[in-house]
C-alpha cells in the first residue's frame, strides 16, 4: 500500500529564509505527487503537482518541488519565505492506475514564519 511521510510536523523559519518541507513516499511504482496548502480555517488548495515529464515542478506563490525517484522524495522549497506563507502544507500521492484521485495525504507540516 502507498504511504506518505512528511518529516517534521512543525517547521519555523525567518522571513526571507529558505523554506524546505520534506516528503517521502512509499510505492513500488512512482505515483502522481501533489503538494497542497491549508490556510487557517480554510480548505486545501493545490500548490503544485507532478505527473510526468520534467522532475522540477513550479507552483503558485514561488514554491517548487523536485521529484527524485532514486530517493522516493518530493520535497517542497521556496527560496525566500514570506509572512503570508505561514500555513499547513500537505504532501499527497495518488496511484497511477485506477486512482480516481483517491489521494493519500501525509500528516502535514505546519510552517511558521517569524520576522
Partner 1 sequence: NAGVTQTPKFQVLKTGQSMTLQCAQDMNHNSMYWYRQDPGMGLRLIYYSASEGTTDKGEVPNGYNVSRLNKREFSLRLESAAPSQTSVYFCASSQSQGGTGELFFGEGSRLTVL
- Cα separation of 115 and 113, whole Å? 7
- Window 40-59: contact mask with partner 1 (x via CB under 8 A): -xxxxxx--x-x--------
Contact window for partner 1 (CB under 8 A) among 36-44, 56-64, 66-74, 78-86: 36-44
CA-to-CA separations, 27 to 37, 38, 58, 84, 95, in angstroms, rounded:
23, 25, 23, 33, 9
Q: How far is CA 8 from CA 45, 60, 88, in A?
A: 21, 22, 12
The cell 512512482 sits on which residue? 30
- Residue range at the interface with partner 1 (CB under 8 A); choices 18-26, 34-42, 55-63, 72-80: 34-42
Out of 8, 9, 18, 55, name the contact with partner 1 by CB under 8 A.
9
Interaction mask 64-93, partner 1, x per CB under 8 A? --------------------------x---
Amino acid at each position: 500500500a502507498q504511504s506518505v511521510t512528511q518529516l517534521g510536523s512543525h517547521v519555523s523559519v525567518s522571513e526571507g529564509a529558505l523554506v524546505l518541507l520534506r516528503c517521502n513516499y512509499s510505492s513500488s511504482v512512482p505515483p502522481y505527487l501533489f503538494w497542497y496548502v491549508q490556510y487557517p480555517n480554510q480548505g486545501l488548495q493545490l500548490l503544485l503537482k507532478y505527473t510526468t515529464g520534467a522532475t522540477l515542478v513550479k507552483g503558485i506563490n514561488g514554491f517548487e518541488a523536485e521529484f527524485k525517484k532514486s530517493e522516493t522524495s518530493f520535497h517542497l522549497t521556496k527560496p525566500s519565505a514570506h509572512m503570508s506563507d505561514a500555513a499547513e502544507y500537505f504532501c499527497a500521492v495518488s496511484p497511477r492506475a485506477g486512482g480516481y484521485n483517491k489521494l493519500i495525504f501525509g500528516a502535514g507540516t505546519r510552517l511558521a514564519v517569524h520576522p
